[in-house]
A and B are shown apart, each in its own frame.
Chain A
Amino acid sequence: MSILDPNSDAKNTLKIASLVEAEEAFLAKARTNANSVYFSQHPIEPAQPVKGEPAKGVDPLQRPHNRRHFLASVAVLASSSVAGRAIAQTAPSPDGKAPPGAVWRSVPEDATKIPGVAIGEDGGYGTRSQFETEVRWRFGTKTPLSSWSMTPLEHGVGIITPSGLHFERDHGGIATIDPATHRLFVHGMVKQPKKFSMSDVKRFPSISRILFIECSGNGLTEWSKPTLKTVQGTHGLVSTSEWTGVPLSTILNEVGVKSGAKWLLVEGGDSSVMTRSIPIDKAMKDCFLAYGQNGEAIRPEQGYPLRLIAPGYEGNTHIKWVRRIELSDKPFMTREETSKYTDLLPNGKAVQFSLIMDAKSVITRPSGEMTLSGPGFYEITGLAWSGRGRIKRVDVSTDGGRTWRSAGLQGPILPICQTRFRFPWVWDGKEAILQSRCVDETGYVQPTLGQLIEVRGLNGPIGSIYHLNAIQSWKVDTEGRVSNVHYY
Chain B
Amino acid sequence: MSTTTKLFLQVTACGALFALNTYAVSADPTRYGFGEPASANDLQDFVSSLPDGRDLPAGSGTISRGKQVYDEKCASCHGQKLEGGIGDRLIGGRGTLVNNDPKKAPVKTVESYWPYATTLFDYIKRAMPFYMPGSLTNDEVYSVTGYILSEANILNGDEPITATSLSKVAMPNRNGFIPDHRPDHFKPADKHPRLR
**A residues near B, CB below 8 A?**
3-4, 6-13, 142-143, 145-146, 171-172, 185-187, 192-197, 200, 203-205, 207, 209, 223-224, 247-250, 253-254, 265, 267, 271-273, 275, 284-286, 288, 311, 324, 326, 328, 330, 332-335, 338-339, 342, 344, 346-356, 358, 388, 400-402, 415, 442, 444-445, 447-448, 450-452, 454-455, 457-463, 467, 475, 485-488
Contacts and interface: CB of A to CB of B under 8 A. Distances in A.
27 contacts: A4-B81, A4-B83, A6-B95, A7-B104, A7-B105, A9-B104, A9-B107, A187-B38, A193-B43, A195-B42, A253-B31, A265-B48, A272-B133, A273-B134, A286-B24, A332-B122, A333-B118, A334-B123, A338-B177, A348-B176, A349-B178, A350-B97, A351-B180, A358-B184, A475-B195, A487-B194, A488-B194
Contacts of B101: 458, 460
Given A250-B28, A273-B126, A6 B92 contact: yes
Chain A to chain B: the 9 pairs with minimum beta-carbon distance, closest first: A9-B105, A346-B100, A460-B105, A348-B98, A247-B25, A224-B102, A348-B97, A273-B126, A196-B35
Interface of B: 11, 14-15, 18, 23-26, 28-32, 34-38, 42-43, 46, 48-52, 79, 81, 83-84, 86, 88-89, 92-108, 110, 113-116, 118-119, 122-123, 126-127, 130, 133-134, 176-184, 186-187, 189-190, 193-196
B135 to A, nearest CB: 11
A186 B34 CA distance: 13
Given A271-B133, A272-B127, A334-B122, A401 B193 contact: yes
Contacts of A196: 34-36
A460 B104 contact: yes
B115 A6 contact: no
Contacts of A3: 79, 81, 83-84
Contacts of A334: 119, 122-123
A11 B189 CA distance: 34
B36 A185 contact: no
**Residues of B contacting A: mostly:** loop
Give the one of B30, B51, B176 with max A CB within 10 A.
Answer: B176
Contacts of A401: 189, 193
Contacts of B94: 6
Given A271-B133, A353-B179, A444-B183, A451 B23 contact: no
A202 to B, nearest CB: 9
Given A6-B107, A460-B101, A487-B196, 11 more contacts: A6-B94, A196-B35, A339-B114, A344-B108, A348-B97, A353-B179, A356-B180, A358-B182, A401-B193, A402-B193, A458-B100
Nearest to A462: B105
A193 B38 contact: yes
B138 to A, nearest CB: 15
Contact of A203 (B14, B18, B32): B32
With most chain B CB atoms within 10 A of its CB, the pick from A195, A203, A452 is: A195
Given A9-B105, A250-B28, A195 B36 contact: yes
Contacts of A454: 186-187
Nearest to A335: B123
B180 A352 contact: yes
Nearest to A463: B102
Contacts of B30: 250, 253
A460 B100 CA distance: 7
A11 B178 contact: no
B119 A335 contact: yes
A482 to B, nearest CB: 15
A451 B183 CA distance: 13
Contacts of B34: 196, 200, 203-204, 254
B183 A332 contact: no
B38 A195 contact: yes
Contact of A350 (B93, B100, B130, B178): B178
A461 B50 CA distance: 33
B180 A172 contact: no
B26 A285 contact: yes
A286 B28 CA distance: 12
Candidate in B35, B108, B190, B193 with the most chain A CB atoms within 10 angstroms? B35
A352 B177 contact: yes
A415 B24 CA distance: 12
A172 B133 CA distance: 9
Contacts of A388: 183
Contact of B193 (A13, A185, A249, A488): A488
B21 to A, nearest CB: 11
A1 B169 CA distance: 32
Contacts of A6: 92-96, 107
A447 B127 contact: no
**Residue among B29, B93, B119, B193 having the largest count of chain A Cβ atoms under 10 Å:** B193
A451 B176 CA distance: 24
Contacts of B114: 338-339
Looking at B84, B98, B186, which has the most chain A CB atoms within 10 Å of its CB? B186
Contact of B190 (A249, A335, A458, A488): A488
Contact of A358 (B110, B176, B181, B183): B183
Nearest to A449: B196
